[in-house]
A and B are shown apart, each in its own frame.
Chain A
Amino acid sequence: MRYIEPHAHMVSRTTDDYVAMVTAGCKAVCEPAFWAGFDRSSANGFYDYFCQLTDFEPKRSAKFGLPHYCWLCINPKEAEDIKLADEVIALIPEFLKNDTVLGIGEIGLNKNSRNEMNVLEKHVNLAAENNQLILVHTPHLEDKRKGTKLIVDVIKSDSRIDPGRVLIDHVEEHTAKYVMDAGFWGGLTLYPESKCTSARAIDILENFGSERLWMNSACDWGVSVPLSVPYAAQEMRRRGYGDDTIDRIFYRNPVEFLSQCPNFKLK
């Protein structure tokens, strides 16, 4: 099979993971900027991180024949410090000139606070002013329903943003319909404990439609599985799906969304 890994935090992974992904059929990996597991102490920390995402990591990935793309932002987990967020957002336009940057992400909300919303709106404005795709992180667990609704409503209210150029990630059974009905793309994240199992993700595709959904591993420094996307494809085969449907979900769907960014090119 061939597939795209549309959301993976490869800076936290090993070269073994790159080998396994390429062996499983991965044709491109896309890495959103995220929280490192600790708060960075200054905007300089983000400058270095953006250099890592746009320069070092694509070179590391290329050693395994895997094209690497990235998204840039300050994660909502670090949005309570508005001054820091403003400094980081000011760094981003310079990095948007890099030819492996896909857009602004993963932005969004974490605990649904006023400061997080303030920073989300600044990111959305940055995307609008620079005609960038948007990748959105929705909150975890008990905060997801509320946060997803707040995010959908605020982005939908910005007439400059085409919902078809926005992917709202980590949808589950209670948020997928709200996202899809608003015209956005949705992402299903496959995690061993939180978010979705393969079986539930396939249920969501069956219940809410498969036209504007993709699956990702969102593998990072926590409990996560870099091969969860091809494992989900295997689960679809077990459930009786054919190669064409699997290719559409795991390859053609992400390619369709990501190709809206001229930087996304597959050989």
Chain B
Amino acid sequence: MEPKKKHNTVELYFMEARAKLIDIAAFMDRVERDGYTEDFRYKAFKGALKALDSENRAQNVLMSFSDPTDELIPAATTKAACGAWPDKPQQ
């Protein structure tokens, strides 16, 4: 699927992406300033940033946050997802 008229992607999305990037930078400053760097979600977040150096960045960021196992768990102990796999080995 391709558009009839191809627009400049940077022109379309740069300002939005720039704002999101600054928000990420501010989030990291805030977490580090407040001393929550050992939270597994923040560690997963920092790990996911490495996927930005790959080709399929969105897919690889999502995979970085994902449970990599394939087996059913015995029972659900919560209904909610937290956005990062808690059992990922900490680096």
The answer to whether A and B belong to the same complex is: yes
Give chain A's interface residues, CB within 8 Å of chain B.
35, 77, 79-80, 110-117, 139-146, 149-150, 172-174, 194, 199-200, 203, 205-206, 209-210, 236, 238-242, 245
Q: Which residues of A contact B75 (CB under 8 A)?
A: 80, 113-115
Distance to closest chain A CB from B47 (angstroms): 13
Contact A142 B84, CB 8 Å, known A174-B62, A203-B58, A238-B12 = yes
Known contacts being A110-B79, A140-B81, A141-B83, is A146 close to B2, with CB within 8 Å? no
Q: Is the CB of A143 within 8 A of B81?
A: yes
Per-residue interface assignment for chain B, residues 1 to 44, with 1 indicating a CB less than 8 Å from any chain A CB and 0 otherwise: 11111110000110000000000000000000000000000000
Would A173 and B79 count as touching, CB distance under 8 A? no
Q: Are A172 and B73 in contact (CB under 8 A)?
A: no
Shortest distance from the beta carbon of A153 to any chain B beta carbon, whole Å: 9
Residues from chain A with a CB closer than 8 A to the CB of B67 are 112, 142-143, 145-146
**Considering the complex of A and B, which 9 residue pairs feature the smallest CB-CB distances, nearest first?**
A240-B3, A111-B76, A141-B81, A140-B81, A145-B66, A240-B5, A174-B62, A173-B59, A113-B76
**B79 A77 Cβ-Cβ under 8 A:** yes
Q: List 18 A-B contacts (CB under 8 A).
A: A79-B76, A80-B75, A110-B79, A111-B76, A111-B77, A111-B81, A115-B75, A116-B76, A142-B65, A145-B62, A146-B66, A173-B62, A194-B83, A205-B1, A206-B1, A240-B6, A245-B1, A245-B3
Q: Which residues in A have their C-beta under 8 angstroms from that of B78?
A: 111
Nearest CB of B to A190, in Å: 15
Q: Using Cβ atoms and an 8 Å threshold, which residues of chain B touch A209?
A: 1
Decide if B63 is an interface residue (CB 8 Å cutoff).
Answer: yes
Q: Nearest-CB distance from A191 to chain B (Å)? A: 13
Is the Cβ of A141 less than 8 Å from the Cβ of B63? no
What residues of B have a CB within 8 angstroms of the CB of A173 in the complex?
56, 58-59, 62
A146 and B70 in contact (CB under 8 A), knowing A141-B83, A173-B58, A240-B4? Answer: yes
Contact A111 B73, CB 8 Å, known A173-B58, A174-B59, A174-B66: yes
Extra contacts besides A114-B74, A145-B66, A146-B66 (14): CB < 8 Å:
A111-B79, A113-B75, A115-B75, A115-B76, A140-B81, A142-B67, A145-B68, A146-B69, A173-B59, A173-B62, A174-B59, A206-B2, A238-B7, A245-B1
With CB as the reference atom, state the residue of chain B lying closest to A208.
Answer: B1
How far, in whole Å, are A37 and B79 apart by their CA atoms in the complex?
A: 10
B85 proximal to A (CB < 8 A) = yes
In the complex the two chains form, what is the Cα distance from A139 to B4 in whole Å? 35
Q: Which residue of B lies closest to A206 (CB)?
A: B1
Query: What are the residues of chain B within 8 A of A77 when measuring CB–CB?
Result: 79
Report the bound CA distance from A110 to B75 in whole Å. 11
Residues of B close to A240: CB separation below 8 A: 3-7
